[in-house]
C-alpha cells in the first residue's frame, strides 16, 4: 500500500483520473453542461493566457489520516517548470515543459520514488510535438525516450495538464464538466473533471479564491470510490493548482503549492 500511496503522491497530482479507454461517464451520470478541453486547440490562434516561459510551481506532498490535514507526514516534493525561452522546431515556437517529483529521504527508506517528464508543446495549438519520461520506483525502472506525436493523437499527460489550465475562466465558471483524453505509455485514456464552483481557501499565500474541481478516479486497488478527490485551482485566468486532497484506501494524500515564480499575474488573494 505504501508503494502506491507514494507513487500517487507525485503522479496523482496531474493524473488522478479515470483510466477507462472506452467510457467517459457512468450510466447514471447527469450533467447540465460539459465541454471538451480539446475544442480550445486552434493552431491559428494563441488561446493561452494561463502561463508563459519561466513559470515555476513547487509543491509539498504529505500523507496522513483522512480529514486530518494537520496531522500529516511530509512524503515528497514535486516541481513543474517551463523553460525560460522557446525552442524552434520546423520554424515554429514551442514550450518546453518539465515535471519532476521524488520522495523525501525518510520516505525513501521505505520506498524510493523518482519521476521526470518533459513535453515539447507547440505554442499556439498546445499540441504535444514530442515527450519523454523517466520513472524509478524502488527496483522498478521505466524510461521512454522522446516519442513523436501526430495531429490525430491526444496530448501526452503533462501537456494535457497545462492545456486544461488554458480553458477560458468565463467558460470554466459556466461549465459543469470538463472532458479530456490523454496518451500515456502508448495508450489513450478518457476522463473528466466535475466543477463544484468557487470557494475561498487558506494557503501559504493567504486566503485565496479558488475553483473546486473533482476528478473522476478509477476505483480499485487504491480508491474505494470513483469520486471524492478534490483539486482547488486559482479563480483567475491562470488556474494554478493550489491544493489537492486524495482519499486512498488507508488515509489521504495532501498536496500543497508552496512556491510560484514567474506567473503571468500574482496569485489571487
CA distance 221 to 37: 29
| pLDDT for position 68 | 62
**Is 231 within a domain?**
yes
Q: What is the pLDDT of residues 14-57, one digit of tens each?
A: 444 444 444 444 444 444 455 555 555 555 555 688 999 999 99
Q: What is the mean pLDDT of the chain?
A: 78
| pLDDT for position 21 | 45
Range of the domain at 189: 2-261
Q: Please, what's the b/e burial string for 38-71 (b: 16 or more CB within 10 A of its CB; e: otherwise)?
A: eebbeeeeeebebbeeebebebbbbbbeeeeeee
**Is 266 within a domain?**
no
| pLDDT for position 236 | 93
Q: What is the pLDDT of residues 135-164, one digit of tens each?
A: 888 888 988 887 777 777 788 888 888 988
- Residue pair 59/257 in contact by the 8 Å Cβ criterion: yes
The pLDDT-based confidence of 9 (bands split at 50, 70, 90) is very low
**Is 268 within a domain?**
no
| pLDDT for position 268 | 62
User: pTM here?
Assistant: 0.82
**Is 236 within a domain?**
yes
pLDDT at 80 over 90: yes
Total of domains in the chain: 1
Which segment of 11-20, 71-80, 91-100, 247-256 scores lowest on mean pLDDT?
A: 11-20
pLDDT at 256 over 60: yes
**Is 267 within a domain?**
no
**Is 232 within a domain?**
yes
pLDDT at 134 over 70: yes
CA distance 155 to 122: 11
**Is 163 within a domain?**
yes
- Residue pair 204/176 in contact by the 8 Å Cβ criterion: no
Q: What is the pLDDT of residues 175-217, one digit of tens each?
A: 888 888 888 877 887 888 889 999 999 999 999 999 999 987 6
Amino acid at each position: 500500500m505504501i508503494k502506491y500511496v507514494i507513487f500517487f503522491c507525485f503522479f496523482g497530482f496531474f493524473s488522478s483520473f479515470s483510466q477507462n479507454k472506452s467510457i467517459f461517464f457512468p450510466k447514471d451520470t447527469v450533467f447540465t453542461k460539459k465541454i471538451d478541453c480539446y475544442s480550445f486547440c486552434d493552431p491559428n490562434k494563441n488561446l493561452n493566457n494561463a502561463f508563459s516561459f519561466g513559470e515555476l510551481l513547487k509543491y509539498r506532498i504529505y500523507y496522513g489520516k483522512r480529514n486530518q490535514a494537520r496531522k500529516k507526514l511530509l512524503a515528497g516534493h514535486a516541481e513543474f517548470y517551463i523553460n525560460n525561452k522557446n525552442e524552434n522546431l520546423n520554424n515554429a515556437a514551442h514550450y518546453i515543459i518539465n515535471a519532476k517529483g521524488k520522495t523525501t529521504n525518510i520516505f525513501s527508506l521505505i520506498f524510493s520514488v523518482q519521476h521526470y517528464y518533459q513535453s515539447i508543446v507547440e505554442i499556439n495549438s498546445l499540441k504535444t510535438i514530442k515527450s519523454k519520461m523517466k520513472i524509478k520506483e524502488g527496483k522498478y525502472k521505466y524510461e521512454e525516450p522522446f516519442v513523436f506525436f501526430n495531429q490525430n493523437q491526444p496530448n501526452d499527460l503533462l501537456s494535457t495538464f497545462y492545456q486544461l489550465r488554458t480553458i477560458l475562466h468565463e467558460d470554466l465558471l459556466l461549465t459543469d464538466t470538463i472532458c479530456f483524453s490523454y496518451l500515456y505509455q502508448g495508450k489513450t485514456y478518457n476522463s473528466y473533471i466535475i466543477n463544484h464552483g468557487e470557494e475561498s481557501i487558506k494557503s501559504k499565500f493567504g486566503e485565496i479564491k479558488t475553483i473546486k474541481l473533482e476528478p473522476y478516479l478509477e476505483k480499485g486497488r487504491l480508491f474505494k470510490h470513483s469520486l471524492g478527490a478534490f483539486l482547488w485551482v486559482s479563480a483567475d485566468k491562470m488556474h494554478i493548482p493550489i491544493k489537492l486532497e486524495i482519499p486512498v484506501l488507508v488515509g489521504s494524500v495532501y498536496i500543497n503549492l508552496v512556491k510560484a515564480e514567474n506567473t503571468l499575474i500574482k496569485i489571487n488573494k
